[in-house]
Chain A
Amino acid sequence: DIQMTQSPSSLSASVGDRVTITCRASQSVSIYLNWYLHKPGKAPKLLIFAASRLESGVPSRFSGSGSGTDFTLTISSLQPEDFATYYCQQSYGTPRTFGGGTTVDIK
């Protein structure tokens, strides 16, 4: 199985901050890397697919980059509705493994 490792596991930030979350794969997944936002009691929401493609309707403050084994999700200016847990997921191999998650909370 391809292991996905996210860092940090949690971070505290303020509204307006620039936030960066990283995701590392145990082997190359090319650009087959997705990012989701998940809030308690809600369904996950797709933010980024194919490493850098912004899902329709997602604000442009979210961006993704990377290929191979190293990927980054950046929130350029954190908004109140962005406090949540973020997951990366590879769609290169089966099983489609998720990272352990990064929780972004209010500083």
Chain B
Amino acid sequence: QVQVVQSGAEVKKPGASVKISCKASGYTFTSYYLNWVRQAPGQGLEWMGRINPGVGSTSYAQKLQGRVTMTSDTSTSTVYMELSSLRSEDTAVYYCARVKGPDWQDASDSWGQGTVVTVSS
């Protein structure tokens, strides 16, 4: 069955970087986009960007441009999301999620368990 498993919780200081992994299994890794979504405490869901794991092409939310980098490793079916210059507002639960298909099927159907990132001095 489709599974998406994320790396564990992180605690970082302001200004540092964090890199979260997301390992996929149970399907053809290179055939489906992966989204990254986060939720800050008490806030709603925020789309951060997406990656095509097969070719490595990415699309990022404008507000994170320059600070976020998404990469993929097809040999291990793993995608990574690195966020740099961390600030307290980046404290959140981060999710990766598989996109079920193109066009009208562009929806996240399988989600990782979430990774808590805490930014604190």
Contacts and interface: CB of A to CB of B under 8 A. Distances in A.
Interface of A: 1, 31-32, 34, 36, 38, 43-46, 49-50, 53, 55, 87, 89, 91, 94-101
Contact of B104 (A1, A32, A36): A32
A91 B99 CA distance: 11
Interchain residue pairs A-B with the least CB separation, the first 7: A43-B111, A49-B107, A91-B106, A34-B107, A50-B104, A96-B47, A95-B61
Given A44-B95, A91-B106, A99 B44 contact: yes
Interface residues of B, number: 25
B114 interface: yes
B100 interface: yes
Please report whether the interface of chain A is mostly helix, strand, loop or mixed according to DSSP: loop
Contact of B109 (A32, A50, A55): A55
B104 A49 contact: yes
Contact of B44 (A32, A50, A55, A87): A87
Nearest to B44: A101
Interface of B: 35, 37, 44-47, 49-50, 59, 61-62, 95, 97, 100, 103-109, 111-114
A50 B114 CA distance: 25
16 contacts: A32-B106, A34-B108, A43-B114, A44-B97, A45-B111, A46-B109, A49-B100, A55-B107, A87-B44, A89-B47, A94-B59, A96-B106, A97-B47, A98-B44, A101-B44, A101-B45
Nearest to B95: A43
Contacts of B46: 98
Contacts of B37: 44
A70 to B, nearest CB: 18
A96 B95 contact: no
Nearest to B35: A96
